[in-house]
A and B are shown apart, each in its own frame.
Chain A
Amino acid sequence: MIAWLFRFQSLFGLVLVFLAAVIFSPVRNGELLFLDSGNLFNVVRAMSEIGILAVGMTFVILVGGIDLSVGSVLGLASVGAAVLLVRQDFGVLPAVLVVLAAGLVFGLLQGVVTAKLGIQAFIVTLAGMQIARALARIWSGGQGVEIAYGDAPGRAPLAFSLLGERTFNGLVPIPALIFAVVAGLAAILLRVTAFSRHIYAIGGNEKAARLSGVPVNRVKILVFGLCGLLAALAGIVHAGQLNYGGPNDGSMAELDAIAAVVIGGASLSGGRGTVVGTVAGALLVGVLRNILTLNNVDSNIQLLIIGLVIVAAAGLQRLRPAAVG
């Protein structure tokens, strides 16, 4: 039971923050503003891009790596989607596939350099962060690319604008659905496949994993590829939500993603962490930010509080019994 508590600390944290948000919610016309369905879905929508990044980041952190490039890749992908749709007259599916492939390749390359050349992931992806940002600026010509919709040349197909829309009686934002699907698939991938056993094995003890026949390099490369792929997906969602490909967008998003993973209970030295934890970590930050904003708490105080939450989450992990996987 104790083990369970530590393992899913962020889930309990989320429940606590959620309850606190209900208690401290401003009331308008007898209704709790926080529990307004529009408000709740906005929380999830706003966190969905960071959440998608964080899911990819979870895999990288599980093998003991880190990926600092995801925010820049998000910006690059948003520019890529916008340029392909608007300036190159791509259809939605080809544009999305090209951008996803670009993200995947970018991630795989970072994985190859990390695994095969033995350079630390921090350094490789620090370089990747600069390179992706540069590519985004070059590809866009240094200007944000506006996405206008319609049939005429120079306009994106209307279907792409669905990313900014809501489904199910006009309530659930599509980015939130994409986030949910990504998280669901990732959780399954990390539970039932041999791939997941390899990931945890590498994160636990890379040398031992190598000796016991785990294809360490291949797994690492795939993990970075997956992270790049998800960063590109987040960029596509970003472009669709905002009708805009921004060469400077997504800067610092990598830190938000890492924060979500850490609050989710993962260890930066690898081998420990879950997708469920990460999702709860991302939502926890989103709910916290929302309730603070609804109560007009100063934005600097908000930063302070979220910083303290990160420290608290990491501190809790230190207390965790060593035997708990």
Chain B
Amino acid sequence: MPKRARGALSLLLGLTLVVSACGTTSENAGGGPAEPKPCGGAGGKYTIGVSQANVAEPYRERMDADIRKAAAGVPQFTVNFADAQQDNSKQVEQVENFLTQQIDLLIISPNEATPLTSVVKKAYEQGVPVLVLDRKVNGDSFTSFIGADNFDIGRRAGEFVAESLLPGGGKVAELKGLAGSSPAKERSDGFKLGIGGKNIEIVASADGDWLRDKGRQQADALLKGTPGIQVVYAHNDPMGEGAYLAAQDAGLTGIKVVGIDGLPIEAGGIKAVEAGRLAATFVYPTGGKEAVEAARKILVDCQQVPKVQGLPIERVTKENAAEVYARLNAGG
């Protein structure tokens, strides 16, 4: 046996050596911001790599769909998508793969900021324009950040609760997104600012991990355990829908639910508002269309784009839900 094992080991080692011997250098230029590649203009062909944190989330699926749809309108663009399935390591690997493929531009929606910072920086320093969507990376080694502000959207939700739902003060339960994720923290902190000084109290809170079923389960416990809750603030619409179901179950029909994201899809928050399950939601734009527009400016028009492009937050209530839905799905 040992003989065979040794044979296998040496085979493996041999393979490793072969692997390390072949291939030529292409990437240890290192250091310093590289010069951006010369702009090819309207006559060129461009490959764009899209690195998505997790397509299993409807919001991110819609982001990819928005990018796909917008890119179909630019004949020079070919778009390749990668899905990191919520895994930081995998996303780093996929960006490295894109660099190996020598893409012309990177669009990335990072799973988390810090772990993705260095590979984004690497791409940027190799002269690949980088558009960061939705969640930021650290530092300023990217071409443009496009996204809305999670803190701000939380604040707007808080203000809505204070002004429209509980003008005389009252009790709120909070369903939080995945613990440890930055949007969960920012949507929570923003909300607290929004309801500040209005005699509104967050009497109970729980982690719903962004999920509808977990949201329902947690809301069920919160509503049973803490009497007197008037409003449930959910960090996203699916958890809000779960809270609505829990309230129905408990026979608490007076409870109002506020969500976030406002996805313009059939199963999304805007439709839920229209149907009266949510009292309101706030559109957190995916930035997909805007990213392709920025890519077109950079690659085809050879122009600069602003370093930060804040996207507008929009409040959706029963009055404007149908209109917003139609507008966000119109044209191209």
Tell me the A residues contacting B by CB distance below 8 Å: 4, 7-8, 11, 14-15, 18, 26, 28, 31, 33, 35-42, 45-46, 49, 137, 140, 142-144, 146-147, 164, 169-172, 180, 187, 191-192, 238, 241-244, 246-249, 251-252, 274, 276, 279-280, 290, 293-294, 296, 298-299, 325
CB of A116, distance to nearest CB on chain B (Å): 32
Q: Is the CB of A246 within 8 A of B12?
A: no
Q: How far is the CA of A28 from the CA of B27 in the complex (A)?
A: 15
Select from chain A the residue with minimum beta-carbon distance to B181.
Answer: A248
A243: which of B22, B24, B83, B114 is its contact (CB, 8 Å)? Answer: B114
Given A46-B92, A248-B179, A276-B12, 13 further pairs, Cβ under 8 A: A33-B101, A35-B22, A37-B26, A42-B97, A42-B100, A137-B180, A142-B179, A142-B180, A243-B118, A251-B86, A293-B82, A293-B97, A325-B1
CB of A234, distance to nearest CB on chain B (Å): 10
Q: Is the CB of B83 within 8 A of A299?
A: yes
B230 in the interface, Cβ–Cβ < 8 Å?
no
B80: which of A171, A279, A296 is its contact (CB, 8 Å)? Answer: A296
Q: Which residues of A contact B25 (CB under 8 A)?
A: 37, 169
Q: How far is the CA of A26 from the CA of B138 in the complex (A)?
A: 33
Q: Which residues of A contact B27 (CB under 8 A)?
A: 38, 170
Q: Which residues of B contact A147 (CB under 8 A)?
A: 114
B318 in the interface, Cβ–Cβ < 8 Å?
no
Q: How far is the CA of A62 from the CA of B20 in the complex (A)?
A: 32
B23 in the interface, Cβ–Cβ < 8 Å?
yes
With A246-B115, A294-B97, A294-B100 already in contact, the answer to whether A172 and B20 are too (CB < 8 A) is yes
| Stretch from B2-10, B150-158, B234-242, B287-295 forming part of the interface with A | B2-10
With A140-B180, A294-B97 already in contact, the answer to whether A38 and B82 are too (CB < 8 A) is no
Q: How far is the CA of A280 from the CA of B13 in the complex (A)?
A: 11
Select from chain B the residue with minimum beta-carbon distance to A296.
Answer: B80
B112 in the interface, Cβ–Cβ < 8 Å?
yes
Q: Is the CB of B24 within 8 A of A37?
A: yes
B165 in the interface, Cβ–Cβ < 8 Å?
no
Q: How far is the CA of A192 from the CA of B9 in the complex (A)?
A: 14
CB of B109, distance to nearest CB on chain A (Å): 14
Tell me the B residues contacting A by CB distance below 8 Å: 1-2, 4-5, 8-9, 11-12, 15-16, 19-20, 22-28, 30, 55, 80-83, 85-90, 92-94, 96-97, 100-102, 112, 114-115, 117-118, 138, 178-182, 185
19 A–B contacts from the bound complex (CB under 8 Å) = A7-B4, A33-B100, A38-B100, A40-B20, A42-B97, A142-B179, A170-B28, A171-B20, A172-B20, A180-B16, A187-B5, A191-B2, A243-B115, A244-B112, A244-B115, A248-B181, A276-B5, A293-B82, A296-B81
Q: Is the CB of A242 within 8 A of B89?
A: yes
Q: Which residues of A contact B83 (CB under 8 A)?
A: 299
Q: Is the CB of A36 within 8 A of B82?
A: no
With A169-B28, A246-B112, A280-B12 already in contact, the answer to whether A49 and B100 are too (CB < 8 A) is no
Q: How far is the CA of A28 from the CA of B115 in the complex (A)?
A: 29
Select from chain B the residue with minimum beta-carbon distance to A34.
Answer: B100
Q: How far is the CA of A308 from the CA of B179 in the complex (A)?
A: 34
CB of A157, distance to nearest CB on chain B (Å): 18
Q: Is the CB of A28 within 8 A of B2?
A: no
Q: Is the CB of A144 within 8 A of B112?
A: yes
Q: Is the CB of A39 within 8 A of B100?
A: yes
Q: Is the CB of A46 within 8 A of B23?
A: no
